[in-house]
Amino acid sequence: SLLLFTAVFILTADYIKNRRPGSFPPGPRAFPIVGNLFTVDYNRTHESLTQVTDRYGDVYSLRMGQTWIVVLNRFDVLKEALVDQGDVLADRPNLPLLQDISQGLGVIFSNGKIWKQQRRFALSTLKHFGFGKKSLKPVILEEFSYCAKEFKSHKGKPFDPHLILNNAVSNIICSLVFGHRFEYGDEKFMELMSWFGKGLELEASIWAQLYNSFPLLMRRLPGPHQTVQHIWNSVKDFIRVEVKEHKHNWDPSDNRDYIDCYLSEIQMEQGPENLVVCVFDLFLAGSETTSTTLRWAFLYMVKYPEIQAKVQAEIDKVVGTSRQPSMEDRADLPYTDAVIHEIQRMSNIVPLSLPHVTTRDIRLGGYTIPKVMTIIPNLTSVLFDKNEWETPDAFNPGHFLNPEGKFVKRAAFIPFSAGKRVCLGENLARMELFLFFTSLMQHFTFSMPAGVKPVMDFRFGITLSPLPYEVCLTSR
Ligand code: HEM
């Protein structure tokens, strides 16, 4: 009878917890204990979450195990929440899987004073090395030369560009934080890159949801959620070695990179582990994202050869073949710029942004969202909104061009999210994408191996990545 009493007690408590108060955002019926955990298709979570709006509107709630979340959809709602009421949404929730690894340190998952200090410091260091005197532009263009050489070595035969691209793009962030690049094919580095992909995929899997919903239980059980911890710890070990070497030959009068700046400016106020987590954050966020976007770029170019030819013609006319493209060329390359924007819109690589949390009660869309509520900003619902885009599901550079062919900005273009937590690397990512993409188009023509059609399907993780593929790159 004790067992029966306990079961009735748990179910009653769960039933009470399961009810949505009148002013709380609506949502699908939540089941006892697990809530809506199994109503989402974790292979296409962003599409699942967008579909729910058909029935429950742009502000709705789900109960993931024991945790309620609110999903925000469409431009007006996201702008009102992230920008107009940005102060209330500047924090990240305490998700066990993420907290285990970041321990409240670093930039991406920290809050309050640590976050403010680290974000400001990272932005000023990025500005100094990325756009200031020691510009990253030559670093990006030099990296492109290595990458092009590697691509050329395939002599137009089919190959999978994934690892080379990953290595090339990561080298830019490595120059920034570590002060050096890694040779293509460096075994340790390649292993690290493959961990990033796997780690991000697992972070968005059902295992991560289960871990975040039932941390005490899941910590004791084996499964892929344990692999995630192992993966991130290995990345941190790799960073610790770099930090140790920096400390060993540190010269306060010559700051070579982010780690040096950190050692001299912040003087380890937050402790040595904070530096490791900060580097981890910049390294992770700065590697996977831009290279995934470029992998999509290759696919879109082979799928639409006529668009590829138009981009090449514009680059040939404005830049020519004898010099490397520069950021100053962007204003004269409206079509190319529009194509890059459309690649980012369609590839939608961070489809659900990163989670935020309310620090006070807020009103949104006619509902009251209480404080300490996890908020998911659904960027997919904005980037594919039929009210914002003429042909939301079709690749159409015209979305960013006026009838005269001039580039036009679109407010609903928010792949970097918006508000206080907007992507810290947005300017760097845009520079990398522009310089890499234009240089690639200047040097190569992209095509699929004979008889193969491009597959535009994705693998869902925190980032959406294309399935592995081979392409042919012919020198122009
Ligand atoms: C955060 C997108 C490249 C560093 C984010 C967020 C998105 C995003 C959607 C979450 C914003 C939010 O919470 O509302 C992208 C895309 C990229 C890209 C689409 C490339 C195409 C980069 C690069 C860096 C970077 C190159 C390198 C420095 C960060 C950091 C955060 C962040 C540190 C956390 C900011 C914070 O919590 O304050 N990014 N990102 N990202 N990104 Fe990026």
Could you report the per-residue pLDDT of 279-321, keeping only the tens digit for each? 999 988 888 899 999 999 999 999 999 999 999 999 999 999 8
Cα(424) to centroid(ligand 1), Å? 5
Cα(253) to centroid(ligand 1), Å? 31
Closest CA relative to residue 258, chosen from 170, 420, 130, 112: 130
- Compute the distance between CA of residue 84 and CA of residue 407 in angstroms, rounded to an integer: 27
List, in order, residues 6 or more apart from 339 with CB less than 8 Å away.
300, 307, 311, 397
| Ligand 1 proximity of 204 Cβ (cutoff 6 Å) | no
User: Which pTM does this prediction carry?
Assistant: 0.93
Tokens 């994934």 locate to: 162
Nearest CA to ligand 1 atom 25: 425
Cα(66) to centroid(ligand 1), Å? 28
| Ligand 1 proximity of 108 Cβ (cutoff 6 Å) | yes
Q: Determine the pLDDT at residue 416.
A: 97
| Ligand 1 proximity of 429 Cβ (cutoff 6 Å) | yes
| Ligand 1 proximity of 289 Cβ (cutoff 6 Å) | yes
Q: Determine the pLDDT at residue 64.
A: 85
ipTM reported for the complex surpasses 0.85? yes
Which of 15-19, 266-270, 379-383 ranks highest by mean pLDDT? 379-383
Residue 133: is its pLDDT beyond 60?
A: no
- Compute the distance between CA of residue 153 and CA of residue 161 in angstroms, rounded to an integer: 12
Q: What is the DSSP letter of 63?
A: E
Instruction: For strands 472-475 and 444-447, give the pairing.
Output: antiparallel
Q: Determine the pLDDT at residue 134.
A: 59
DSSP 462-475: SSEEEPP--BEEEE
* pLDDT tens, position by position, 424-473: 999 999 999 999 999 999 999 999 999 999 999 998 877 899 999 999 99
- The minimum-distance atom of ligand 1 relative to the CA of 420 is 38
Determine which of 43-52, 127-136, 316-325, 330-339 has the lowest per-residue pLDDT on average.
127-136
Q: Determine the pLDDT at residue 230.
A: 83
Cα(294) to centroid(ligand 1), Å? 16
Q: Determine the pLDDT at residue 227.
A: 83
| Ligand 1 proximity of 285 Cβ (cutoff 6 Å) | yes
Q: Determine the pLDDT at residue 301.
A: 98
Q: Which of 173, 380, 423, 432 to mutate to test the pocket of ligand 1 (most atoms within 8 A of CB)?
A: 423
* pLDDT tens, position by position, 340-357: 999 999 999 999 999 999
Evaluated on CA atoms 302, 303, 306, 308, the torsion sign reads negative
| Ligand 1 proximity of 357 Cβ (cutoff 6 Å) | no
61, containing H or E segment: strand 59-64
Compute the mean pLDDT over every residue in the chain, rounded to the nearest whole number. 89
- The minimum-distance atom of ligand 1 relative to the CA of 349 is 19
| Ligand 1 proximity of 345 Cβ (cutoff 6 Å) | no
| Ligand 1 proximity of 416 Cβ (cutoff 6 Å) | yes
Q: Determine the pLDDT at residue 132.
A: 58
- Compute the distance between CA of residue 315 and CA of residue 313 in angstroms, rounded to an integer: 5
| Ligand 1 proximity of 270 Cβ (cutoff 6 Å) | no
Determine which of 47-61, 106-120, 199-213 has the lowest per-residue pLDDT on average.
199-213
Cα(285) to centroid(ligand 1), Å? 6
Determine which of 50-64, 85-99, 121-135, 324-338 has the lowest per-residue pLDDT on average.
121-135
pLDDT band at 268 (very low <50, low <70, confident <90, very high): low
| Ligand 1 proximity of 288 Cβ (cutoff 6 Å) | no
